[in-house]
């Protein structure tokens, strides 16, 4: 039987059969989906959609949600890194990103300036960091965030990391210092005398 089958046998594959993990991921506003802490850019038409992904130790595969065909195969990136194919770079700023930048300027002038600087430097890859900056307003308040962004711009370090570290160390507004000497402020002895006088007249 082997002699009969031998002419039809093909050579063994060079590498063993590859076993993939499977999952579903959402393509976020920055055009990325996440696998094992790394980020991979999907085609612009898949923005906001749920896609199927397959991955192993060597590559990540993106499957189209409608046709179930392989869209692209990416080399595995380290956690925190991202893979952006040149053909997936948007030629124009997406409307969702423009709305995000407008919202940042509405929260505060310095906040808007810092978020715009991030977008000009990083493009759509910076959308996630812009959202991280705006999240600090919910955690620490708009005024504290505006102050931190102003300091970041002044120091020439317009980054989410600078803002986050500063707010962790200075979570509230600095205390106001009262001026003790001013033509409009009376000496404290005047107030003490007045309070003693009122207390004697109204002992209750």
Q: Which domains does the chain have, with CATH numbers?
A: 21-88 (2.40.50), 95-169 (no CATH)
Pairing of strands 50-55, 59-63: antiparallel
Structure tokens at 165: 């570290």
3-state helix, strand, coil in the chain (%, to 5): 45, 15, 35
Question: What does the pLDDT read at residue 190?
Answer: 57
Q: Considering only CA atoms, give the Rg of the chain.
A: 30
Question: What does the pLDDT read at residue 133?
Answer: 94
**Residue with the two structure tokens 């300036």:** 113
CA angle 63, 11, 2 (to 5 degrees): 125
Helices (H), 36-177: 95-107, 109-122, 127-140, 142-155, 160-169
Secondary structure tally for the chain: helices H, strands E: 7, 7
CA 40/CA 87 separation, integer angstroms? 13
Q: Which pLDDT band, with edges at 50, 70 and 90, does 176 fall under?
A: very low
Q: Is pLDDT of 75 > 80?
A: yes
Q: Is-contact 57 20, C-beta < 8 A?
A: no
**Residue with the two structure tokens 């000009």:** 120
Question: What does the pLDDT read at residue 195?
Answer: 53
Structure tokens at 15: 């590498």
Q: Is pLDDT of 17 > 50?
A: yes
Check residues 21 and 29 and name the one with the higher pLDDT.
21
Question: What does the pLDDT read at residue 19?
Answer: 87
- Mean pLDDT lowest for which of 28-42, 91-105, 107-121, 184-198? 184-198
CA 165/CA 97 separation, integer angstroms? 25
pTM score, whole prediction: 0.52
DSSP state of 47: T
Question: What does the pLDDT read at residue 110?
Answer: 95
How far separated are the first and last CA of the chain, in Å rounded? Answer: 115
**Residue whose C-alpha is closest to residue 165's, from 188, 190, 141, 136:** 136
**Tens of pLDDT along 113-152?**
999 999 888 877 788 899 999 999 999 999 999 999 999 9
């Amino acid at each position: 039987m082997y002699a009969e089958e031998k002419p039809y046998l093909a050579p063994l594959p060079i590498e063993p059969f590859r076993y993939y993990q499977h999952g579903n991921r959402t393509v976020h506003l920055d055009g990325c989906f996440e696998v094992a802490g790394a980020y991979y850019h999907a085609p612009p038409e898949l923005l906001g959609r749920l896609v199927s992904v397959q991955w192993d130790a060597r590559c990540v595969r993106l499957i189209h949600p409608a046709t179930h065909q392989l869209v692209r195969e990416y080399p595995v990136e380290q956690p925190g890194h991202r893979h952006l194919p040149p053909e997936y770079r948007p030629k124009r700023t997406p409307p969702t990103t423009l709305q995000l930048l407008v919202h940042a300027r509405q929260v505060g002038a310095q906040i808007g300036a810092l978020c715009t600087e991030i977008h000009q430097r990083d493009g759509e890859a910076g959308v996630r960091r812009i959202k991280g900056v705006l999240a600090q307003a919910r955690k620490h308040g708009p005024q504290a965030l505006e102050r931190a962004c102003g300091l970041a711009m002044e120091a020439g370090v317009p980054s989410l990391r600078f803002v986050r570290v500063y707010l962790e160390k200075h979570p509230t507004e600095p205390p106001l210092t009262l001026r003790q000497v001013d033509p409009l402020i009376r000496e404290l002895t005047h107030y003490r005398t007045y309070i003693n006088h009122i207390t004697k007249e109204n002992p209750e």
